[in-house]
Amino acid sequence: MDVDGRVREQAVEPEKLTVRSAQRLWDAAPGWLNTASYGLPPRPAFQALQAALDDWRHGRTSWEGWDESTTRSRNAFARLIGASASDVTVGGTAAGLVGMVAASIPDGSTVLAPDIEFTSNLFPWMVHADRGVTVRTVSTADLLNAIDSDVDVVAFSAVQSATGEVAPFDRIVAAARANDALVVVDATQAVGWLPQNWTSADVVVVSAYKWLMSPRGTAFAYLSPSARQHLRPMAANWYAGEDVHASYYGPPLRLAGDARAFDVSPAWLNWVGLAPALELLVELGVDQVHAHNVALANRFRAGLGLPPGDSAIVSTDIPGAESSLAEAGIRAAVRGGAVRVSFHLYTTEADVDAALNALTS
């Protein structure tokens, strides 16, 4: 109180959201160590989707309300990667977005990619073999040194799906720039937890159902303004129109002047289930998520006697892992003897310790 007996108003700083407080928004059953396969929604996203499903079922609303979630998601994604929303297009899958870029490269182009690349960033290039597009694959370790003046496109994952390896992103971009090659990044396993200078690439494609915790069927691409000059909007449609609501019928062609020209018309309800999750990630900030996820991954590594790493995904050969994990109720991916576990902001130390217990006892 001041001398007049009035209660002095305090400037109340809004409390910064922490991973620990955000974790209360999830209802994950213990033992989900497979975000590299699909991510789990926070309660606000799940509830928004349920409400929209109910409106859909009863025909209570028009679609425009659902579509606001697409705009909210585009804006939040842009903030997450440090881009302008006008440079972000929306799609349904990573492969669909890569396919649009691949269809736009000149006949006879050479594409360089890692040999373990997830095929959503490989097959879309390979289908252009008949017009002379060559896809050269090398090991992830050799990718950087394989970038030379014969390469027209470097296509790679920022984080490898199979192994969790984090690519030397800045060095690859620099080598590609030095050789005038287009840089097309699949950041599906990275955006949402890995801080990176994303807009230094030409194209960054992200399927949102893993680390961005969307229902399946939403994807984004950052398309740099200079790259867009060479891209053809292969799926041109009403939603990509300059004025969406004046683009339903008839010519002329009247697409948006920015990255929206490349949009596909959105699967509305999936976007309703995505927007709150993305906004939460933006509020938390990628740095906090990165620190949490990598700390858990390193707790897991230490428990197995492995040196610390830099990824939220750990892949390691452990004989009998599949049955040990299944018996303990731990859900992870096991491929050809290698167990792949992944840790996101809703993962707890108890999840990690339960997995270690199952694998080491």
Ligand X SMILES: Cc1ncc(COP(=O)(O)O)c(C=O)c1O
Task: Catalog residues that contact ligand X under the rule CB under 6 A.
Answer: 93-95, 118, 120, 157, 161, 186, 188-189, 207, 219
Rounded least distance, CB 343 to ligand X, Å: 16
State the sign of the Cα–Cα–Cα–Cα dihedral 115, 119, 122, 123: positive
Rounded least distance, CB 257 to ligand X, Å: 27
Q: Which residue has the tokens 């610390």?
A: 308
Complex with ligand X: residue 216 or 299, whichever CB lies closer: 216
User: DSSP secondary structure string, 303-321?
Assistant: HTTPPP-S-SEEEEE-TTH
Rounded least distance, CB 57 to ligand X, Å: 27
Question: Rounded to 10 degrees, what is the CA torsion of 112, 117, 121, 125?
Answer: 40
Complex with ligand X: residue 210 or 301, whichever CB lies closer: 210
E strands, 76-151, are: 88-91, 110-114, 134-138
Question: Taking the CA of residue 350 as centre, how many other CA atoms within 13 Å lie in the half-sphere pointing to its CB?
Answer: 6
Contact between 268 and 67 (Cβ < 8 Å): yes
Complex with ligand X: residue 46 or 211, whichever CB lies closer: 211
Rounded least distance, CB 115 to ligand X, Å: 14
Rounded least distance, CB 17 to ligand X, Å: 28
> In a 10 Å sphere around its CB, with 0-12 CB exposed, 13-18 middle and 19+ buried, how is residue 250 labelled?
exposed
Question: Taking the CA of residue 42 as centre, how many other CA atoms within 13 Å lie in the half-sphere pointing to its CB?
Answer: 21
Closest C-alpha among 214, 212, 209, 206 to residue 46: 214
Strand 338-342 versus strand 333-335 pairing type: antiparallel
Complex with ligand X: residue 25 or 100, whichever CB lies closer: 100
Complex with ligand X: residue 93 or 298, whichever CB lies closer: 93
Residue 288 neighbours by CB under 8 Å, 6+ apart: 18, 19, 345
Complex with ligand X: residue 165 or 186, whichever CB lies closer: 186
Three-class SS of 59-76? CCCCCHHHHHHHHHHHHH
How far does Cα 40 stand from its chain's mean position?
A: 13
State the sign of the Cα–Cα–Cα–Cα dihedral 292, 293, 298, 301: positive
Rounded least distance, CB 303 to ligand X, Å: 25
Rounded least distance, CB 6 to ligand X, Å: 59
Cα maximum dimension of the chain = 85
Complex with ligand X: residue 25 or 118, whichever CB lies closer: 118
Complex with ligand X: residue 37 or 348, whichever CB lies closer: 37
Rounded least distance, CB 160 to ligand X, Å: 7
Complex with ligand X: residue 22 or 193, whichever CB lies closer: 193
State the sign of the Cα–Cα–Cα–Cα dihedral 99, 232, 261, 241: negative
Rounded least distance, CB 101 to ligand X, Å: 13
Complex with ligand X: residue 117 or 152, whichever CB lies closer: 117
> Which amino acid, residue 355?
A
The token pair that represents 158 in the structure block: 């920022």
> Which amino acid, residue 151?
V
Rounded least distance, CB 163 to ligand X, Å: 11
